[in-house]
C-alpha cells in the first residue's frame, strides 16, 4: 500500500528521486512470512521521502521476515513501529517528533492491556539527530541510521532487554554484504517492478543538501553483489529494475575482466539477465553523465527512454552558490548530446526556488531554462534551510512570500509542459508493464516507458506482463488505453511503437 503526497509539483513518478524528494510519503512493506500464521508478530513501517528510503524499508521487512514479523497497514495492529525518516525537507525532525507524540499515546494505551509496542526511528533524521531523539522522545526504543538496518534483529533483542539503542555508524560495506547474503535466500514471488541500490552517499556537497552528512561519502556497491540481487529479483518475477543512488551515475566498480566499469557498462550487463526487460536509474548528477552512459541510452532496448537529471536552478550565479559545479550552458550541451543519442527520451528534473540571494533575474533564468529544455515532468520545491548546511547560514534569505509566488509561477509552466507531453502520447502505441489492480472494477494499472501510470480494462492475470497498449485518453494523473489485439507479452520491452504501426 502506498499513500504518497508531495509538497510541491509532482511528476508521474511513483516517488521522489533518491536524495532529492519529499518527506511526506507513507509506505507499508510486506515481510516474507505466511500471513495465516497467527503467532507471527506485526511491523508497521512508515516511510518518508525518496526511493532510497522505500528500498530500505523493503529490506527492513525482509530482514524481519525470518524473525517472525509480517507487515501491517495499520499502526494499531503493530508490535513494532518503525519510522524510516528523511532529512531533505525543512522541519523534518519536528514532523518526526510530532508523529512520536501520537505513537506515545498509543503505547500508553496499550500498556495496561499487556500489549507492548516497540518503537524505532530509522533513516536520515535518525542519523542526524542520534541520541537527541532518544533524549527528547523516551517512547523510542531504537534509533538507527540508514547504514544499520541490516542489524535489526540484534537491535530489537537489545531493546527488549531494556537497552536504549542508538546505532549511527557508517558501516556501508557491512550493509552491502548483508544485502548480498539476503539476496541469496530462497526465491520469493515479487512485484513486477523493484528498486535496487547500487550506490549510496554523496561527495558533491551542494550547499542546500544534508545527504553527505546523513548518508556519508559516495560508496559504490560491488558488481558481483548487484548482479546476484538482480538475478534473484528476476527469478522472483521482476520485469523492471530501477537502480538507486544519491548520485547513481557516479557508480563504478571492477568488472570480471579486471577493468573499471561505469554505470553504462553495468546497465549493459544487467540487460543480459533473462526475464529482466526494463531498466531505469535515478538520481543522476549532470557532472557524472559520461559518454558510455549516454551511449547506453542509444544502444539498450531495455533502458527506458526517461531520464531524471536535476539541474536545481537556471541561473549561473545561483548554481555557483549551490556548489553545483556546472553552468546552465554545461547543462544545455549535455541535454543536446543525450537527445542526439536518444531522440525519444523524455526528461524530468528538480528545481529549488528562493535559494539565498536569488533575484528576479535569477528566477527568470530558471524559467528560461525550463522553456528551452521542455520537461515531461518535474519536482519543484521552495528552498528550506537545513541545519548544518552552508545554505542555512547564508545572507539574503529570500522572504517566504516571494518563494511562494515564484514556486506557483514555475509550477504553472512545468504543468503546462507535462500536460503537453502527455497529450502527445494520445494515439500512440506503447509497451506497458502492468503492475497492479486499478481503482475501477475491471481495470489494471501499468507503467509506460516514460514512467506514466496507464489505466486499461483488462483481466487481472495480465498483471506482471508487458502488453502493447494504444493511448486513447488522459486523466489528471494517468493515461487511459486499450489493449491492441494480437500483441502479446514480449520477451523485452521495446518502448514506444509508432502511431502508424498497424494492428
Are 100 and 197 found together in one domain? no
Domain boundary among 136, 169, 202: 169
C-alpha to C-alpha distance for 382 and 407, rounded to whole angstroms: 7
Are 201 and 157 found together in one domain? no
What local confidence, expressed as pLDDT, does residue 90 receive? 58
Domain-located, residue 380: no
Domain boundary among 304, 328, 355: 304
Does position 26 have pLDDT exceeding 50, yes or no?
no
What local confidence, expressed as pLDDT, does residue 490 receive? 53
Task: Catalogue the long-range contacts made by 163-171 (C-beta closer than 8 Å, 24 or more residues apart).
Answer: 164/134, 165/141, 166/130, 166/131, 166/133, 166/134, 166/142, 167/142, 167/143, 168/126, 168/127, 168/130, 168/143, 168/144, 169/145, 170/145, 170/216, 171/147
What local confidence, expressed as pLDDT, does residue 240 receive? 97
Average pLDDT, the chain: 85
What local confidence, expressed as pLDDT, does residue 149 receive? 80
Are 160 and 184 found together in one domain? no
- 8 Å CB contact between 314 and 361: no
3-state DSSP assignment of residue 247: coil
266-312 per-position pLDDT tens digit? 999 999 999 999 999 999 999 999 999 999 999 999 999 999 999 99
Please report, in range form, the residues annotated as the binding site.
Answer: 50, 86, 124, 202, 206, 209
What local confidence, expressed as pLDDT, does residue 388 receive? 82
39-83 per-position pLDDT tens digit? 579 999 998 877 788 888 888 888 898 888 998 988 988 999 999
321-354 per-position pLDDT tens digit? 999 999 999 999 999 999 999 999 999 999 999 9
Are 200 and 280 found together in one domain? yes
C-alpha to C-alpha distance for 236 and 135, rounded to whole angstroms: 43
Are 164 and 17 found together in one domain? yes
Supply the CATH number for residue 33's domain.
Answer: 3.40.50.12160
What local confidence, expressed as pLDDT, does residue 494 receive? 41
Does position 146 have pLDDT exceeding 70, yes or no?
yes
Are 282 and 177 found together in one domain? yes
What local confidence, expressed as pLDDT, does residue 17 receive? 52
Supply the CATH number for residue 464's domain.
Answer: 2.40.50.140
More confident residue, 399 or 4: 399
Are 180 and 151 found together in one domain? no
214-273 per-position pLDDT tens digit? 778 899 999 999 999 999 999 999 999 999 998 999 999 998 888 999 999 999 999 999
Mean pLDDT of 130-149: 86
Domain-located, residue 423: no
What local confidence, expressed as pLDDT, does residue 178 receive? 63
Query: Domain containing 204: what range?
Result: 171-304
Q: How confident is the model at residue 174 (pLDDT cuts 50, 70, 90)?
A: low
Domain-located, residue 285: yes
Domain-located, residue 113: yes
Mean pLDDT of 479-493: 74
Are 22 and 143 found together in one domain? yes
Does position 5 have pLDDT exceeding 70, yes or no?
no
Domain-located, residue 79: yes
Supply the CATH number for residue 241's domain.
Answer: 3.30.750.210
Are 215 and 298 found together in one domain? yes
Are 120 and 189 found together in one domain? no
Please name the residues in contact with 241: beta carbons below 8 A apart, sequence gap of 6 or more: 193, 194, 195, 196, 230, 233, 270, 276, 278, 279, 280
**Number of domain units in the chain:** 3
Task: Catalogue the long-range contacts made by 383-388 (C-beta closer than 8 Å, 24 or more residues apart).
Answer: 383/208, 383/352, 383/353, 383/354, 383/355, 383/356, 383/358, 384/89, 384/90, 384/91, 385/90, 386/87, 386/88, 386/90, 386/208, 386/209, 386/210, 388/128, 388/210, 388/213
408-467 per-position pLDDT tens digit? 999 999 999 999 999 999 999 999 999 999 989 999 999 999 999 999 999 999 999 999
Domain-located, residue 359: no
C-alpha to C-alpha distance for 225 and 223, rounded to whole angstroms: 5
What local confidence, expressed as pLDDT, does residue 110 receive? 85
Mean pLDDT of 459-478: 94
Q: How confident is the model at residue 92 (pLDDT cuts 50, 70, 90)?
A: low
Please name the residues in contact with 433: beta carbons below 8 A apart, sequence gap of 6 or more: 192, 193, 239, 240, 277, 278, 446, 447, 465, 466, 493
Are 103 and 204 found together in one domain? no
Mean pLDDT of 377-381: 94
Are 145 and 278 found together in one domain? no
Domain-located, residue 126: yes
Domain-located, residue 28: yes
361-378 per-position pLDDT tens digit? 999 999 999 999 999 999
Domain boundary among 109, 142, 169: 169
Please report, in range form, the residues annotated as the binding site for [4Fe-4S] cluster.
Answer: 50, 86, 124, 202, 206, 209
Amino acid at each position: 500500500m502506498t499513500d504518497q503526497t508531495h509538497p510541491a509539483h509532482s511528476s508521474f513518478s511513483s516517488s521522489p528521486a533518491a536524495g532529492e524528494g519529499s518527506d511526506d510519503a507513507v509506505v507499508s512493506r510486506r515481510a516474507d512470512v505466511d500471513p495465516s500464521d497467527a503467532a507471527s508478530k506485526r511491523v508497521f513501517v512508515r516511510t518518508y521521502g525518496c526511493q532510497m528510503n522505500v528500498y530500505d524499508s523493503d529490506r527492513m521487512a525482509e530482514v524481519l521476515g525470518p524473525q517472525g514479523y509480517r507487515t501491517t497497514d495499520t499502526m494499531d495492529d503493530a508490535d513494532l513501529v518503525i519510522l524510516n525518516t528523511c532529512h531533505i525537507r525543512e522541519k523534518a525532525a519536528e514532523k518526526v517528533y510530532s508523529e512520536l507524540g501520537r505513537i506515545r499515546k498509543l503505547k500508553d494505551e496499550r500498556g495496561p492491556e499487556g500489549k507492548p509496542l516497540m518503537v524505532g526511528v530509522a533513516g536520515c533524521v535518525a542519523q542526524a539527530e542520534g541520541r537527541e531523539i532518544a533524549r527528547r522522545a523516551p517512547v523510542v526504543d531504537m534509533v538507527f541510521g540508514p547504514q544499520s538496518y541490516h542489524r535489526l534483529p540484534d537491535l530489537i533483542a537489545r531493546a527488549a532487554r531494556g537497552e536504549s539503542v542508538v546505532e549511527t555508524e557508517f558501516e556501508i560495506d557491512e550493509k552491502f554484504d548483508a544485502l548480498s547474503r539476503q539476496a541469496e535466500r530462497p526465491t520469493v514471488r515479487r512485484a513486477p517492478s523493484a528498486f535496487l541500490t547500487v550506490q549510496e552517499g554523496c561527495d558533491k556537497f551542494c550547499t542546500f543538501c544534508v545527504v553527505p552528512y546523513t548518508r556519508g561519502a559516495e560508496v559504490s556497491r560491488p558488481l558481483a553483489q548487484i548482479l546476484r540481487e538482480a538475478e534473484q529479483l528476476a527469478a522472483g518475477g521482476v520485469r523492471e529494475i530501477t537502480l538507486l543512488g544519491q548520485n547513481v551515475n557516479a557508480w563504478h566498480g571492477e568488472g570480471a575482466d579486471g577493468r573499471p566499469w561505469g554505470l553504462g557498462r553495468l546497465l549493459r550487463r544487467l540487460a543480459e539477465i533473462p526475464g529482466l526487460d526494463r531498466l531505469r536509474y535515478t538520481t543522476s548528477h549532470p557532472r557524472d553523465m559520461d559518454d558510455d552512459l549516454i551511449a547506453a541510452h542509444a544502444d539498450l532496448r531495455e533502458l527506458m527512454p526517461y531520464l531524471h537529471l536535476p539541474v536545481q536552478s537556471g541561473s549561473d550565479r545561483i548554481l555557483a552558490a549551490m556548489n553545483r559545479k556546472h553552468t546552465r550552458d554545461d547543462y544545455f550541451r549535455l541535454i543536446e548530446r543525450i537527445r542526439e543519442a536518444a531522440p525519444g527520451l523524455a526528461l524530468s528534473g528538480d528545481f529549488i526556488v528562493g535559494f539565498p540571494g536569488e533575484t528576479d533575474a535569477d528566477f527568470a533564468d530558471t524559467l528560461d531554462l525550463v522553456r528551452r529544455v521542455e520537461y515531461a515532468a518535474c519536482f519543484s520545491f521552495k528552498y528550506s534551510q537545513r541545519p548544518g548546511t552552508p545554505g542555512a547560514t547564508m545572507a539574503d534569505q529570500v522572504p517566504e512570500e516571494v518563494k511562494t509566488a515564484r514556486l506557483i509561477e514555475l509550477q504553472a509552466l512545468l504543468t503546462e509542459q507535462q500536460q503537453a507531453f502527455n497529450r502527445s502520447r494520445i494515439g500512440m502505441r506503447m509497451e506497458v508493464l502492468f503492475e497492479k489492480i486499478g481503482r475501477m472494477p475491471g481495470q489494471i494499472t501499468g507503467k509506460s516507458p516514460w514512467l506514466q501510470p496507464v489505466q486499461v480494462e483488462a483481466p487481472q492475470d495480465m498483471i506482471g506482463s508487458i502488453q502493447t497498449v494504444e493511448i486513447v485518453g488522459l486523466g489528471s494523473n494517468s493515461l487511459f488505453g486499450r489493449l491492441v489485439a494480437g500483441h502479446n507479452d514480449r520477451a523485452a520491452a521495446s518502448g514506444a511503437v509508432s502511431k502508424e504501426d498497424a494492428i
